[in-house]
């Protein structure tokens, strides 16, 4: 599951998150790479334990997120007060199993409303809506 977020306090860790596709769980993703032609970026990534260098093609060098990088991202994302928790949002009889990341149940309702892209008033959308913490 992909999450809309940015790690503002640590741009290097944000690059790891970007390379993995901004997943909710850093170890459950099919993406794992970052390509760059910038000499400064290459030097920085080579010096970091968060990356394993791959090949070079057409001036682009590929870097793969290491297990150390995934663990660093998982540690950062465990700060639920900053990044939120996973909620399951459903509307009985219409649909179920939608997942959103939010800091509270009420915030999860709003995120679900924004992601649903409906022309309903917010309060009308929330009628019958079920929000609960998802099993981790």
**pLDDT per residue as tens digits for the range 19-75:** 999 988 889 888 999 999 999 999 999 999 999 999 999 999 999 999 999 999 999
For residue 53, what are the contacts with CB-CB under 8 A and spacing of at least 6?
45, 46, 61, 62, 63, 64
| pTM for this prediction | 0.73
The yes-or-no verdict on residue 97 having pLDDT over 70 is no
Domain residue ranges in the chain: 11-80, 84-133
């Amino acid at each position: 599951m992909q999450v809309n977020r940015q790690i503002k306090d640590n741009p290097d860790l944000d690059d790891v998150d970007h390379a993995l596709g901004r997943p909710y769980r850093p170890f459950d993703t099919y993406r794992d790479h970052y390509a760059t032609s910038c000499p400064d970026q290459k030097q920085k990534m080579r010096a970091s334990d968060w990356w394993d260098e791959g090949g070079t093609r057409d001036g682009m060098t590929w870097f793969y997120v290491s297990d150390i990088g995934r663990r660093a991202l998982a540690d950062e994302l465990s700060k639920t007060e900053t990044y939120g928790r996973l909620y399951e949002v459903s509307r009985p009889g219409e649909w179920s199993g939608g997942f959103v990341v939010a800091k509270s149940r009420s915030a999860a309702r709003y995120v679900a409303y924004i992601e649903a892209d409906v022309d309903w008033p917010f309060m009308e959308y929330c009628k019958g809506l079920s929000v609960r913490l998802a099993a981790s």
